[in-house]
Amino acid sequence: MFGNGKHARGSQITGWGYFVPPRVLTNEELARQVETTDQWIQERTGIRERRIAGPTESTLTMGVQAARRALIKADLSPSKIDHLIVATATPEQPIPSTACMIQDEIGATKAAAFDVAAGCTGFIYALTIGNALIGSGDCGNVLVIGAETLSRIVDWTDRSSCVLFADGAGAVVLQATDSGTGLISSVLGADGFGRNYLEVSAGGSRLPASHETVDGKLHYVRMNGREIFRFAVDKICKSVRQVVLKAGLTPKDIALIIPHQANRRIIEASARALKIKEEKFFVNIDRYGNTSSASIPIALSEAVEAGKVKRGDYLVLVGFGAGLTWGAVLLRWGESPTVSALETYWDKLKTSPFFREIRHAKRRLDRVKLGDWFDRP
């Protein structure tokens, strides 16, 4: 029963996981493709290398891998998921949603599924929606995924953007709790005035794909780096302050801040402006670059796995991105589930392609049976 105890019904992260493609693209390799240097990229962005999806990898395949890992960690059967939310700016295809595809792949047969488009803030938006769904009392288990294949929308001849973006996926399982741990406060914001600062202008209803849009490179991401930089530092600072205040805490209470990984200098400038030690900001941009909606769940998973997050710690996740959008979530880390090896094995099996084939075969059989019924005289 939730909501009957000392604390109101809330949600906490009980599972986490990430996947990045094995292919590493170093700055040196990039410097052979465009006019740049390893030194420039490291000094101006903090990136040393990034992961790039191979021909058989995509937002769907990476999202599935991250989801499986998070479900195993939470020891939760996919059939128990009530809502599956995917934050992405690079969906598998325009229709249907990537969330529906992941739902089918992992066997989340009872889950409502939808995508959230909020640029690089997508994961923070999706987490906030998931928390609200659980808080409403209608459901208990939400799977939130951030997955991106930005390498497919990057202009590999544009040195100001191709050095930044990369591919990967991260996921968390949110479950109902009345323990007082979990998500405590959040802030979300948007300012469409800056919608042209970061955009892919073609491929939608205004400019559908045509020879002209392809020739004009309008399916690639275009960005005003300097404007985004200024906006990012401002919004990180304001969002962190607001979310901490809303929770009735002070910045000193925060054990770790996990920011969207867009540029190391953005994180450093934010730390200075907030007067919070840089060590309190988790950074892994050096190895993964900017993976948009995936960057915060990847960083969170790495931070937990590295033992940087302890039970009872207050964490802030903060993001910003295309839209322009921004947002932050403050949470108190709860108990980690203990999972037996046998349970892990069984959960792994249930999300596997083998089980998906069995489910599909059963659905085909059901369809035939239904067809027989309709054909009866």
**Of 131, 141, 263, 290, which one is the catalytic site residue?**
290
Instruction: Kindly state the smallest distance separating residue 162's Cβ from ligand ACO, in Å.
Output: 8
Element (H, E) at 198: strand 198-199
CB nearer to ligand ACO: pick between 184 and 258: 258
| Nearby residues of 214 by Cβ (< 8 Å), 6 or more positions away | none
CB nearer to ligand ACO: pick between 229 and 355: 229
- Tokens 């962190």 -> residue: 240
Binding site for ligand ACO (CB under 6 A): 36, 40-41, 44-45, 119-120, 159-160, 163, 198, 223, 225-226, 228-229, 232, 262-263, 290, 292, 321-322
CB nearer to ligand ACO: pick between 116 and 232: 232
| Nearby residues of 18 by Cβ (< 8 Å), 6 or more positions away | 66, 69, 168, 169, 170, 171, 294, 297, 298, 301, 302
CB nearer to ligand ACO: pick between 113 and 118: 118
Instruction: Kindly state the smallest distance separating residue 63's Cβ from ligand ACO, in Å.
Output: 17
Instruction: Kindly state the smallest distance separating residue 16's Cβ from ligand ACO, in Å.
Output: 21
Residue with the closest Cβ to ligand ACO?
Answer: 225
Task: Judge contact between 302 and 172, C-beta under 8 A.
Answer: no
Q: Are strands 24-26 and 83-87 parallel, antiparallel or unpaired?
A: unpaired
CB nearer to ligand ACO: pick between 26 and 336: 26
User: Would you list the DSSP string of 340-353?
Assistant: -HHHHHHHHHHTSH
Instruction: Kindly state the smallest distance separating residue 323's Cβ from ligand ACO, in Å.
Output: 9
| Nearby residues of 317 by Cβ (< 8 Å), 6 or more positions away | 123, 124, 127, 257, 258, 259, 296, 300, 328, 329, 331
The first and second tokens of residue 34, run together, are 């465009």
Phi first, then psi, for residue 5 (nearest 5°) are -85, -160
Q: Distance (Å, rounded) from C-alpha 174 to C-alpha 140?
A: 8
CB nearer to ligand ACO: pick between 89 and 139: 89
10 Å Cβ neighbour count for 328? 29
Instruction: Kindly state the smallest distance separating residue 28's Cβ from ligand ACO, in Å.
Output: 13
Instruction: Kindly state the smallest distance separating residue 88's Cβ from ligand ACO, in Å.
Output: 11
What is the three-class DSSP state of 226? helix
> Could you tell me where the beta strands, DSSP code E, fall in 1-52?
10-19, 24-26, 49-51
Q: Is residue 237 annotated as part of the catalytic site, yes or no?
A: no
Q: Distance (Å, rounded) from C-alpha 176 to C-alpha 164?
A: 37
**Of 100, 120, 139, 162, which one is the catalytic site residue?**
120
CB nearer to ligand ACO: pick between 14 and 291: 291
Task: Judge contact between 320 and 187, C-beta under 8 A.
Answer: no
Instruction: Kindly state the smallest distance separating residue 115's Cβ from ligand ACO, in Å.
Output: 16
Q: Distance (Å, rounded) from C-alpha 268 to C-alpha 282?
A: 11
**Of 27, 237, 260, 263, which one is the catalytic site residue?**
260
Which are the catalytic amino acids? Answer: 120, 260, 290
